[in-house]
């Protein structure tokens, strides 16, 4: 088999992996309730979502350094194998908590391999061409955002286990394709000590903080359990700062923060995730406050996501051909700010008018997922050194995931206030304003320029 054929097998395998794993994540809202209903645990259904999300968030920042130490291909295949096995266990679950734990393990494994997908694309095609092929991979991820819930709804009408009987063999085929097509890349951190203290402190910080942000509006922000979780998170971040200053190969290398253009994209990515959290409340607002049916609620963001699929490919080609990100970044930011401003006009007035405003706001907010799928995951390829790339990509991906976790807590707190859901729709304009500030500080650098 020649090199070109191996590259194509690797691309197909990585694309299938990105699509199926996102399909499973986005369908959880449907099959999760079906599972909880079968096992009579509907009141605890939130654990299906919370623990898996926390596990993903906890492992992403560690994945880059592990990939450098163990080998990117080896870590990717090992984590993907664990992902498949964990969901296979979940598919044959005999009780609610068996599935919850299996899905939490899948979250740990997903966090380990997902950011390595983008680094592996660069390993296969080179940094110059990687943005174009990343665009193809990410466009399928965006398609999964659209297809996840409807697909789960169809299979769950028969049996929720079909969700996994269908998808897991496809993932297994992707594993084989990747095993054949992916190149073996040298281990950048081979022989160097692992930052074990930093890794443990990352878990001590991320896990309690994520749980606190998820459960704060449930148990009360001043309850003993939430205060204890925040206390543990403070201890974790204090320990992280201490260990990272002394580590020879830190999980969060400080030199990345000296690159002001990388930091600008990191902060823009973080606050877009904060702004985008408001989209999670659109279906609820449409059904329970405007009294439209579930079909309208489920399709209101569809035009924006369809645009996002096209933009992901176009932005990927643009980045690969020109090496320029300023225009994409400004479009990303202005669309987010525009969506936030439009949402400010929501009130308790006529339902039809409110629906039109929602469509006008959610369309640009969803469409610029096309920029969010390209800029954070390909710009580091341009500005970071080879030995920094995996760590830099993991840190960038962590920013987006952590932003979503942070936003869930903020939005949950706002929902407990009078007219809380309208306050949630004010979040994008504030987050977008911060994005705009850092977008103005960002600039494209010339090929080969050091920063």
- 86-131 residue pLDDT tens: 999 999 999 999 999 999 999 999 988 888 888 888 888 888 888 8
Decide if pLDDT at 251 tops 80. no
Q: How many CB atoms lie within 10 A of CB 175?
A: 19
- Residues 152 and 221 occupy one common structural domain: no
- Residues 357 and 451 occupy one common structural domain: yes
- Residues 182 and 230 occupy one common structural domain: no
> Confidence class of residue 166 from pLDDT cuts 50, 70 and 90?
very high
The per-residue pLDDT for 448 is 43
Q: Are 415 and 408 spatial neighbours (Cβ–Cβ below 8 Å)?
A: no
Domain boundary among 207, 231, 247: 247
Write b or e for each residue in 116-148: b if 16 or more Cβ atoms lie within 10 A of its Cβ, otherwise e: bbbbbbbbbbebeebbbbbbbbbbbbbbbbbbb
pLDDT digits (tens, 9 = 90+) for 204-236: 888 888 888 878 877 888 899 999 999 999 998
Query: What average pLDDT does the segment 70-85 reach?
Result: 91
% pLDDT > 70, the chain: 95
- Domain containing 205 equals 196-247
Q: Residue 401 sits in a domain of what CATH number?
A: 1.20.1250.20
* Stronger pLDDT, 151 or 217, i.e. the higher one: 151
Domain boundary among 230, 247, 264: 247
The per-residue pLDDT for 85 is 96
The lowest-confidence range among 45-59, 248-262, 354-368 is: 248-262
The per-residue pLDDT for 186 is 63
The per-residue pLDDT for 235 is 93
- Residues 175 and 224 occupy one common structural domain: no
* Stronger pLDDT, 259 or 189, i.e. the higher one: 259
Query: What average pLDDT does the segment 381-408 reach?
Result: 81
- Residues 388 and 333 occupy one common structural domain: yes
DSSP secondary structure letters along 82-140: HHHHHHHHHHT-SSHHHHHHHHHHHHHHHHHHHHHHHHHHHHHH-TTTHHHHHHHHHHH
- Residues 119 and 138 occupy one common structural domain: yes
* Predicted TM-score (pTM) of this structure: 0.83
- Residues 390 and 447 occupy one common structural domain: yes
- Provide the domain count of the chain: 3
């Amino acid at each position: 088999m020649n090199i070109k054929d191996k590259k194509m097998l690797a691309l197909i395998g990585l694309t299938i992996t990105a699509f199926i794993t996102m399909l499973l994540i986005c369908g959880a809202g449907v099959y999760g309730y079906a599972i909880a209903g079968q096992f009579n645990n509907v009141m605890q259904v939130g654990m299906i979502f919370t623990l898996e999300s926390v596990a993903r968030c906890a492992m992403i920042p560690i994945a880059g350094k592990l990939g450098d130490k163990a080998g990117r291909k080896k870590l990717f295949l090992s984590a993907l194998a664990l992902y498949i096995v964990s969901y296979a266990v979940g598919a044959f679950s005999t009780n609610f908590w068996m599935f919850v734990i299996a899905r939490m393990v899948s979250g740990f494994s997903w966090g380990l391999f997902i950011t390595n997908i983008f680094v592996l694309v660069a390993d296969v095609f080179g940094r110059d061409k990687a943005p174009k092929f990343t665009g193809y991979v990410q466009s399928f991820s965006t398609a999964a955002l659209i297809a996840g819930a409807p697909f789960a709804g169809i299979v769950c009408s028969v049996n929720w286990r079909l969700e996994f009987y269908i998808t897991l063999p496809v993932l297994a085929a992707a594993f084989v394709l990747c095993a054949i097509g992916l190149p073996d890349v040298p281990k950048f951190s081979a022989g160097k000590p692992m930052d074990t203290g930093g890794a443990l402190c990352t878990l001590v910080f991320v896990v309690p903080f994520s749980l606190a942000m998820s459960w704060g509006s449930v148990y009360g922000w001043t309850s003993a359990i939430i205060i204890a979780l925040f206390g543990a998170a403070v201890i974790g971040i204090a320990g992280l700062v201490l260990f990272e200053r002394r580590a020879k190969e830190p999980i969060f290398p400080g030199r990345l923060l000296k690159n002001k253009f990388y930091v600008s994209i990191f902060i823009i990515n973080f606050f877009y995730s904060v702004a985008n959290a408001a989209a999670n409340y659109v279906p609820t607002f449409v059904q329970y406050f405007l009294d439209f049916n579930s079909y309208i609620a489920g399709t209101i963001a569809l035009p924006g996501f369809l645009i996002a699929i096209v933009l992901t490919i176009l932005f990927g080609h643009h980045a690969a051909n020109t090496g320029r990100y300023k225009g994409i970044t400004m479009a990303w930011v202005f669309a987010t700010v525009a969506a936030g401003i439009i949402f400010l006009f929501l009130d308790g007035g006529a339902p039809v008018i409110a629906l039109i405003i929602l469509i006008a706001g959610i369309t640009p907010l969803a469409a610029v997922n096309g920029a969010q799928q390209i800029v954070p995951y390909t710009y580091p390829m341009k500005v970071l050194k080879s030995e920094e790339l995996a760590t830099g990509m993991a840190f960038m991906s962590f920013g987006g995931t952590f932003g979503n976790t942070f936003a869930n807590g903020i939005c949950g707190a706002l929902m407990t206030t009078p007219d809380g859901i309208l306050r949630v729709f004010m979040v994008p304009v504030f987050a977008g304003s911060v994005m705009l500030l850092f977008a103005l500080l960002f600039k494209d650098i010339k090929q080969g320029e050091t920063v």
